[in-house]
Copies of this chain bind each other. A is one copy, B any other.
Amino acid sequence: MDKIISLCKRRGFVFPSSEIYGGIGGFWDFGPLGSLMKNNIKREWIKRFVQEREDVVLIESSIIMSPKVWEASGHLKRFTDPLVECKRCHSRFRADHLREGKLIGQGKAKEKNQCPVCGNKEWTKERMFNTMFKTFVGPVEDESHIAYLRPETAQGMFVNFRNVLETSRKRLPFGIAQIGKCFRNEITFGDYIFRSREFEIAEIEYFVKPNEDERMFDYWVREWKKFLIYLGLKEENLKEVEIAKEEMAHYSKRTVDIYYRFPFGWDEIAGVANRTDYDLKRHSQFSKRDLRYFEEKEKKKYFPYVIEPTLGIERLFLALLCEAYEEVKGGRTKTTQAKKEVEILLRLNKRISPIKVAVLPLVKNKREIVQKARKVFDLLRSHFVCQYDEKDSIGRRYRREDEIGTPFCLTIDFESLKQNDLTVRDRDTMKQERVKIDELVNYLTKKLED
Contact = CB atoms under 8 A, between A and B. Distances in A.
A262 B135 CA distance: 32
A92 B22 contact: no
How many chain copies does the complex carry? 2
A232 B268 CA distance: 44
Contacts of A68: 18, 21
A167 B10 contact: yes
Contact of A38 (B25, B60, B286): B60
Nearest to A42: B39
Contact of A167 (B31, B138, B159, B291): B31
A54 interface: yes
A64 B24 CA distance: 9
A143 to B, nearest CB: 13
Given A10-B167, A18-B65, A181-B181, A147 B31 contact: no
A63 interface: yes
Given A24-B66, A39-B46, A29 B60 contact: yes
Interface residues of A, number: 85
A198 B64 contact: yes
A207 interface: no
Interface stretch (A110-118, A217-225, A335-343, A380-388): A380-388
A168 B20 contact: no
A37 to B, nearest CB: 10
A164 interface: yes
Interface in A257-311: 283, 286-287, 289, 291
A139 interface: yes
Contacts of A17: 61-62, 64-66
Contacts of A361: none
A160 interface: yes
- Majority SS at the chain A contact face: mixed
A69 B30 CA distance: 17
B21 A64 contact: no
A135 B134 contact: yes
A412 to B, nearest CB: 17
Contacts of A136: 133-134, 185
Contact of A20 (B52, B64, B181, B287): B287
Contacts of A34: 59-60
A285 B10 CA distance: 25
Interface in A64-90: 64-66, 68-69, 83
A208 interface: no
11 contacts: A20-B289, A21-B69, A24-B137, A29-B156, A30-B61, A32-B168, A52-B381, A83-B139, A135-B149, A137-B185, A139-B185
Given A18-B69, A135-B149, 17 more contacts: A12-B164, A15-B160, A18-B68, A21-B159, A24-B65, A24-B147, A29-B156, A30-B60, A31-B163, A34-B59, A39-B46, A51-B382, A54-B388, A62-B198, A64-B197, A134-B136, A137-B197
